[in-house]
Amino acid sequence: MLGVKSILEAETLAKKNKLLLTFKSQSGKYPSYQLVDKFSPTKNENPSIECNEMRREKQKRKMKQLVWSPKITDHDFAIKLASAKKWLREGDDVKVCVTGKADKDTFENLFLRFSNSIKSEATIKQKSISATGLKFVCHPIAANISVEKHEKQEDMTTISDTEDPNEIVNKEVESLIQKESSESKT
């Protein structure tokens, strides 16, 4: 591990040691690259690393919470529902708490109304209804998570199986050089 380096430094280091600079992952604030031999396998052959990446991605999810009373109006319900759908599209879990005194039928009706509205976007787990409240957690369906989160990260690079990672790095290096030269001229 060499630490945080600019793409220019990494590219010169790769050329100096006759290695390839390849994209590894977008694991944090910065994209991760690695230096490999030309003869090294490009695919990750260790499945435990993929499991660890999936576990880290799951831990990055945030838990958002919606709280309302059983006497919620239709307009307020629509606003809460829109917020929940937005959070689910972003990949966050949503915990719903309906607190107050009401009969179990009222809580069941609120639950059915909410769950029918988001059934295509989330799975509902940990449902509990008592005399004083209703609580449940909505987990997003992976296929419905939008790319809004990823679009917010400006430095994210996507690589398909047909693209050569070195070509992408070269393009990034050229664009950085062009930016630096245009900034120095102004």
Residue 108: which CATH number? 3.30.110.10
Residue 112 lies in a domain: yes
Same domain, 84 and 32: no
Structure token pair of residue 136: 């449940």
Q: What share of the chain is helix, strand, coil (3-state, %, to 5)?
A: 45, 20, 35
3 state SS of 92: coil
Same domain, 30 and 68: no
Q: How many domains does the chain have?
A: 2
Res. 83: pLDDT tops 90: yes
**Tens digits of per-residue pLDDT, 8-43?**
888 888 888 878 777 777 766 777 777 777 665 545
Res. 159: pLDDT tops 60: no
Res. 164: pLDDT tops 80: no
- Percent of the chain beyond pLDDT 90? 26
Residue 87 lies in a domain: yes
Residue 181 lies in a domain: no
| pTM of the complete model beyond 0.75 | no
- Percent of the chain beyond pLDDT 70? 71
> How do 63-68 and 122-129 pair as beta strands?
unpaired
Residue 7 lies in a domain: yes
Residue 131 lies in a domain: yes
Greater model confidence, 146 or 104: 104
Residue 101 lies in a domain: yes
Q: How confident is the model at residue 1 (pLDDT cuts 50, 70, 90)?
A: low
Domain hosting 130: range is 60-141
